[in-house]
Amino acid sequence: MNLDLQLRTEIQKATTALFNTDIAPQLQPTNQEFEGSHTVVCFPFTKVSKKGPEETARLIGEYLQTNSGLISKFNVVKGFLNLSINDAVWVKVFESIYSNKSYGELPSNGKEIMVEYSSPNTNKPLHLGHLRNNFLGWSVAEIFSANGYNVHKVQIINDRGIHICKSMAAWKLFGNGETPHGSGLKGDKLVGKYYVEFDRRYKAEIKELEEKGVTKEGAEKEAPIMKLAVDMLQKWEQKDSETLELWKTMNGWVYDGFAFTYKRMGVDFEKLYYESETYLLGKEEVMRGVDKGIFFKKDDGSVWVDLTADGLDQKVLLRSDGTSVYMTQDVGTAILRFRDFPKIEKQVYTVGNEQEYHFKVLFLILAKLGYSWAKECYHLSYGMVDLPSGKMKSREGTVVDADDLMEEMVEEASRQTQQLGKTGEMHPEEIIKLSEIIGLGALKFFLMKVDPKKRMLFDPAESIQLQGHTGPFIQYTYARICSILRKAASQSIQIDIAQLAAHHRSTESLNQPLEPMEREIIFRVNQYVQKLEEAAREYSPAVIANYAFDLAKGYNQFYQAIPIFSESDVTKLKFRIAFSEVVANVLKKAMGLLGIEVPERM
């Protein structure tokens, strides 16, 4: 049952009866300091009531109290009508949540979407920025899934081009046949090492040539290592077997390394796309656009799209030598995906906000090519992650490596767990598993509690905190409830929810109301579905993260104020156990959307 919707309907009935108006009521949660749970803002009704705000609010309140079974009492502060919901109604709300095993999962809506995330540069190991990207993308996919969508998680792997050839060239020159297996170095780290080596070498060679009097431009082209890389690119395009072999081998190393990192992150993909497989389709589409007069060719042979009518510039789509650019590849990839999954109605691209312009252009181009789904595509644009020292810069060595960071978080979780003396009767494997859950939970929560659109600061000292507004705080609340449920089970306390609800309804007159904190928590639990919808609408896991924190905090307050097992009234005791169980389930579900596990003890 949807309490808010019912309430809204009742209020509308009241205002229609009283003032003969169809102004939609404005409902908001009541401020802590006043009694009640729902507040109607009555200022908008003063126009039709022809009375002051307080009088207007009082009239609506009186009408509701006499005519609606939902409201037990009300109070008026200025133009605000604060409503108290009947406890029997609260219990009914609770009952329907408790007995609904799939609470928090909306039924299938028959819609299908695709979410792209990660899509790293294969020459560079994953770093902190990728963690935000992956966690956000994965979580948004889960959020849509919980909203009833059929979701496909994908990524694009940028596996062709000169940058790949750079690490290949460096490895060929200086690698001495080094392999991940032989050196024990993770595949992506090994390839990254040669990419850096290329750059170092390239700069040295340029300097050498310049000292011999070659111009800077000349030196950049003449540097032997660059010539080798360019040569490899040409050979690659001509499908030279030896080059292709090396390309495959080194890419394989990278993929193996990434797979390891993804696994620990807890993210996955249904299908991987490779640029080497999509850029030709992009080229075809662009040529088709030229034939249809959508794009135009310049004298030098390059192909352009004119977006000045849309308030943007002209944009190149094919170079004068006929090769494709970044945009061309993305056009091809998008179209291929809609061919592979004909039922999807949109694609969500999880990519940093520095590429906002790129996606604006991409969607316009796709629309010009006649793809109606183009206007449904969405760039899930997120802000950069800064360090206390400022921006991450590879040149200054301030890049925070994803593998290292996850490892440090887990180690810190382990250290703190042991320091708090929580590991008493745990097996060593259990401690390891728990540390993983806590460490990654802390990291994921830290990165996802902030609005994705905003640039954020990653303070290492703060991120490893396990108290306060953190993932472990919520995990702890969950573990605590599990402990209560274990105790209840050991005392063989059986919950019969229908009986409890009936009892509450019949004893209401016996003056056994709910505690205000209990009402508030039912209110929050009942809010979950709305938050779920909001999170999808806003593409924001932060909505879920902050909701879970608020719920956990509310429960902890209740827990501390009301000792459950000292309650002598068996019905109340049972209610509170059932109530705790519901909170635990919702916390688990919400955290699950963030990819954060919750432990039964910690």
Give, as ranges, the residues between 344 and 403 that touch RNA (CB under 7 A): 353-358, 383-384, 391
Regarding 73 and contact with RNA (CB under 7 A), the answer is no
Report 529-548 residues binding RNA (CB under 7 A).
Answer: 542-543, 546
Taking the complex as a whole, the smallest distance from the CB of residue 357 to RNA amounts, in Å, to 3
Residue 161 or 192 with smaller CB distance to RNA: 161
Report 24-53 residues binding RNA (CB under 7 A).
Answer: 26-31, 33-34, 39, 41, 43-44
305 neighbors 365 (Cβ within 8 angstroms): yes
- Angle at which helices 471-490 and 428-448 pack, to 10 degrees? 130
Regarding 430 and contact with RNA (CB under 7 A), the answer is no
CA 114/CA 145 separation, integer angstroms: 11
Residue 18 or 325 with smaller CB distance to RNA: 325
Phi-psi region of 341 (alpha: psi -120 to 50; beta: other; left: phi over 0): beta
Q: What character string, x for contact with RNA (CB under 7 A) and - otherwise, covers 245-274?
A: ------------------------------
Residue 241 or 419 with smaller CB distance to RNA: 419
386 DSSP β-pair partners: 457
Amino acid at 73: K
CA 447/CA 537 separation, integer angstroms: 20
3-state secondary structure of 457: strand
Residue 174 or 326 with smaller CB distance to RNA: 326
Among 6, 121, 179, 571, binds RNA (CB under 7 A): 121
Q: Which stretch binds RNA (CB under 7 A): 15-23, 127-135, 234-242, 559-567?
A: 559-567
Regarding 451 and contact with RNA (CB under 7 A), the answer is yes
Taking the complex as a whole, the smallest distance from the CB of residue 394 to RNA amounts, in Å, to 14
Tokens at 274, concatenated: 């490779």
> N- to C-terminal Cα distance for the chain?
35
CA 193/CA 186 separation, integer angstroms: 10
Report 453-472 residues binding RNA (CB under 7 A).
Answer: 453-457, 459, 462, 465-470, 472
Regarding 512 and contact with RNA (CB under 7 A), the answer is no
Residue 507 or 546 with smaller CB distance to RNA: 546
Residue 151 or 475 with smaller CB distance to RNA: 475
Residue 112 or 199 with smaller CB distance to RNA: 199
CA 55/CA 63 separation, integer angstroms: 12
580 neighbors 563 (Cβ within 8 angstroms): no
Regarding 15 and contact with RNA (CB under 7 A), the answer is no
Report 562-581 residues binding RNA (CB under 7 A).
Answer: 562-566
CA 540/CA 546 separation, integer angstroms: 11
495 half-sphere exposure, CB direction, 13 A CA radius:
19
Amino acid at 425: E
Report 185-224 residues binding RNA (CB under 7 A).
Answer: none
Residue with tokens 């879970």: 548
Taking the complex as a whole, the smallest distance from the CB of residue 367 to RNA amounts, in Å, to 18
Regarding 480 and contact with RNA (CB under 7 A), the answer is yes
The CA dihedral of 520, 525, 528, 531, to the nearest 10 degrees, is 20
CA 188/CA 428 separation, integer angstroms: 30
Indicate the helix (H) or strand (E) that contains 456.
Answer: strand 456-457
Size of the site for RNA (CB under 7 A): 90
Regarding 226 and contact with RNA (CB under 7 A), the answer is no
Among 189, 264, 319, 346, binds RNA (CB under 7 A): 319
